[in-house]
Amino acid sequence: MKERVVITGMGAVTPVGIGVDEYWRALIEGRGGVGKITRFPTEGLPCRIGAEVKGFSPENYLSKKLIKETDPFAQYAVAAMQMAIQESGLRFSEEDPFRVGVVLGTSIGGIASITEAQDRITRTGSLRISPHFITKMLGNLAATQIAIMYGLKGPSLTVSTACASGGDAVGVAAMLLELGEADVMVAAGTESLFCTLVIAGLHAARAVSTRNDEPEKACRPFDLRRDGLVLGEGAGAVILETLAHARERGARVLAELLGYANCGEGYHVTAPAPDGSGEIRCMQRALEKAGLTPADVDYINAHGTSTPLGDRIETLAIKAVFGPRAKEIPVSSTKGATGHLMGAGGITELIACVKAIQENIVPPTINYEEPDPECDLDYVPNRARKARVRIAMSNSFGFGGQNACLIVGRFLADA
């Protein structure tokens, strides 16, 4: 019999709030975090908007020495992880360190540190580089910092599957628990990509919104006038445990991870398969692995990035999987509020699913003003809605046809 995997702690650093409670409150109140980019000069860039994390104080989570040695993507991950551990009540001094591991998802890692270093060399001609440069930019070092901080010696992996990285981090962590490789896993997703190079690159790929005059309305998933994603940043973390381990230590279970699927499309480096076949298979496999049918799902947190093609294909895929019932299921994209958190999105959005289950409230898709005839589902426009949510699905679909789907449910002790 497959080992049951449960969630016992959650943490979030997002453009709409630091901490799960603040993040969730902003979502259900319909508050957005998109504005003018302040992190670097944007003159000459076609896109000058983004969803930056605000009010984050790294000294609340890291030593002064460690702050100097880490890129923001790692700082966000450490902060979210600390919040999740605190909620879980875990005491690592009482755990076997070889039975506790970390899986972290990030699409790029410390690219801001890379571009800053190169810019300094170009401007000054000096090749003097910080001895911490390599460890700031390496994607796996966020997981390493978490492991060092708590002396964790179990499985340690970093997953990079573009926008699906966070979802895949949770899925890989759950598989390690099911295989008996660990009793507890920290799963985190994190990203901080704000630099000229990334914004220019996303624009060259025709992926980002250029609604610079009204940034607060720029990210508008499934709306007829959507014109591209809005880059965000942040981190999410969850503590996963085998149910047996959680029961043994008397932990409070927040939700149960019921299913996970990953699949590639083998089609294109940026565009999804036009028939939605990869996304369809991913959702179907997640349902099969969870032992569920389409009738069991009460809420879908869509990938919903606000791109003209992506939102249309995801709508098509949901209708193919759920049939006539697709139009009865609340489907919302919280990216309208947070922007696209890239590697962090899969976990922050999973957290939104857990909160929806706990509170029986579905977060809205904000900035939804004009329906698109090709996107014709119930996107919970602009206002949160009370609804009975027992089981929720979270979709993460990334560049390269990287598809991840997570299913989480209300914990039933006697199931």
List, by residue number, the catalytic residues: 163, 303, 340
Burial of 17 (0-12, 13-18, 19+ CB in 10 A): buried
Beta-bridged to residue 100, according to DSSP, are 184
CA-to-CA distance for 170 and 306, rounded, in angstroms?
A: 24
CA-to-CA distance for 158 and 101, rounded, in angstroms?
A: 11
176 within 8 A of 335, measured Cβ to Cβ: no
For residue 19, the SS3 value is coil
Helices (H), 109-164: 111-124, 133-137, 141-150
Beta-bridged to residue 396, according to DSSP, are 404
Residue-wise burial string across 365-387, b where 16 or more C-beta atoms lie within 10 A, e elsewhere: bbbbeeebeebebbbbbeebbee
Burial of 213 (0-12, 13-18, 19+ CB in 10 A): exposed
212 within 8 A of 47, measured Cβ to Cβ: yes
Beta-bridged to residue 186, according to DSSP, are 102, 239
CA triple 296-299-301, angle to 5 deg: 130
Phi and psi angles of residue 406, each rounded to the nearest 5 degrees, phi first: -115, 145
